[in-house]
Amino acid sequence: MKKLQYTFSGKKTTCYFDADLSYLEKLVDKEHSVLITDDNIFKSHQKKFGGWNTIVIKAGEQYKVQDTVDSIFEQLIGFGADRKTFLIGVGGGVVTDITGYVASVFMRGLSFGFVPSSILAMVDASIGGKNGIDIGVYKNLVGTIRQPQFLLYDTSLLKTLPKEEWINGFAEIIKHAAIKDATLFKELEKNKLSFYQKDKAALTKLIRRNVVIKSDVVEKDEFEMGDRKLLNFGHTLGHAIENLYELPHGHAISIGMVVASLISEEYADFKDTGRVIEVLKRYGLPTLAEFDARKVMGVLKMDKKKEKDAIHYILLNRIGQAVVKTIPIVQLEKMILSIINSR
């Protein structure tokens, strides 16, 4: 098993790669721990949960809401949880977000760890400490930043991951390459999804490389004062259309990345939108959608990256190098309208 360690806010987060879920017993005291998972993961991997206190939530982004949090609080009280109880989120991004959030606020804070079970959670959602819930169409509007003690990578959990979810996860992998790693971008342009699905070594290497990209950024800028903002490439518009149109996260940010690339051609020196579109298509992601730009702008105006009448938009100077540009909302609205009308 390979280990990587990061320091966030003076505390260490350890990533265990090539591990098995059963290794949890070595990391925590089983009696004083509670696993939180969703009904899909629980059904598919029931044996792995044997002997653990477990809370099972309903699967899906629509359950990343306060009602689910309240129900977890009640079940924790039922388990007799106290401030020493350790929480472990076993699942995709919804489970890790909600577990991190519950752990941040229950009894003013419990320790927690994650076993991410989807590509998206492995390379992105479980890393970085941001956690929270959605309020109506506003994604992640309420939450905290608090880091897990560990991330345990058990790729056998991916055996039951539907192809759609693999595709979703690759949107974040392509994003990492686009903003930080031109060599990885080239590798992705050469390979395809089935290659990584079949080749465990290549997949493990790819996951680790993405963990390193994201963790390095977060380690330097945990509270998003600078470089961490770049991780939002594709997410400003992406988040707005994700909940408005109930799109899968990867699909929404894929479209968001195409729009951000087109805006980059105007506001930065970018000339490779074609390559971005091609690589997204190569991994089965959509690159265009019809949406009501005015409705989308309405949601966008609530974006956390907004400041007064402008939005900090993440653009590309070139593949592997992203930049933050402050764009007045009025201009952004015009540009998004013209992008939609020209497609």
Q: Which residues are catalytic?
A: 108, 130, 172, 214, 224, 228, 232, 235, 239, 249
The pair phi, psi for residue 156, each rounded to 5°, is: -65, -20
Contact between residue 294 and residue 313 where contact means Cβ atoms under 8 Å apart = no
Q: What is the DSSP string of 128-194?
A: SSEEEEEETTEEEEEEEE---SEEE--GGGGGG--HHHHHHHHHHHHHHHHHH-HHHHHHHHH--HH
Listed in sequence order, the residues at least 6 apart from 120 whose beta carbon sits closer than 8 Å to its beta carbon are 92, 93, 165, 168, 169, 171, 172, 249, 250
Of the pair 116, 284, the CB lying nearest ligand GLY is at: 116
Q: Which residue is nearest to ligand GLY (CB)?
A: 128
How near is the Cβ of 94 to ligand GLY at its closest, in Å? 11
How near is the Cβ of 207 to ligand GLY at its closest, in Å? 15
Q: Which of 89, 91, 116, 128 binds ligand GLY (CB under 6 A)?
A: 128
User: How many residues sit in the footprint of ligand GLY (CB under 6 A)?
Assistant: 5
The pair phi, psi for residue 171, each rounded to 5°, is: -60, -40
| Dist CA 304 CA 165 (whole Å) | 26
Rg (CA), the chain: 20
How near is the Cβ of 29 to ligand GLY at its closest, in Å? 25
Interaction between residue 129 and ligand GLY (CB under 6 A): yes
Of the pair 92, 128, the CB lying nearest ligand GLY is at: 128
* Spatial CA neighbour of 115 closest among 13, 214, 19: 19
| Dist CA 186 CA 54 (whole Å) | 42
How near is the Cβ of 163 to ligand GLY at its closest, in Å? 23
Of 27-35, 129-137, 153-161, 283-291, the window that binds ligand GLY (rule: CB under 6 A) is 129-137
E strand or H helix that includes residue 87: strand 86-91
How near is the Cβ of 130 to ligand GLY at its closest, in Å? 3
Residues in the chain: 343
SS3 for 30? helix
Interaction between residue 148 and ligand GLY (CB under 6 A): no
Of the pair 131, 254, the CB lying nearest ligand GLY is at: 131
Of 29-37, 126-134, 172-180, 257-265, the window that binds ligand GLY (rule: CB under 6 A) is 126-134
Interaction between residue 237 and ligand GLY (CB under 6 A): no
Q: Which of 48, 130, 176, 239 binds ligand GLY (CB under 6 A)?
A: 130
| Dist CA 160 CA 117 (whole Å) | 9
Of the pair 128, 256, the CB lying nearest ligand GLY is at: 128
How near is the Cβ of 273 to ligand GLY at its closest, in Å? 25
Of the pair 48, 64, the CB lying nearest ligand GLY is at: 64
Q: Which of 19, 95, 103, 125 binds ligand GLY (CB under 6 A)?
A: 125
Binding-site ranges for ligand GLY (CB under 6 A): 125, 128-131
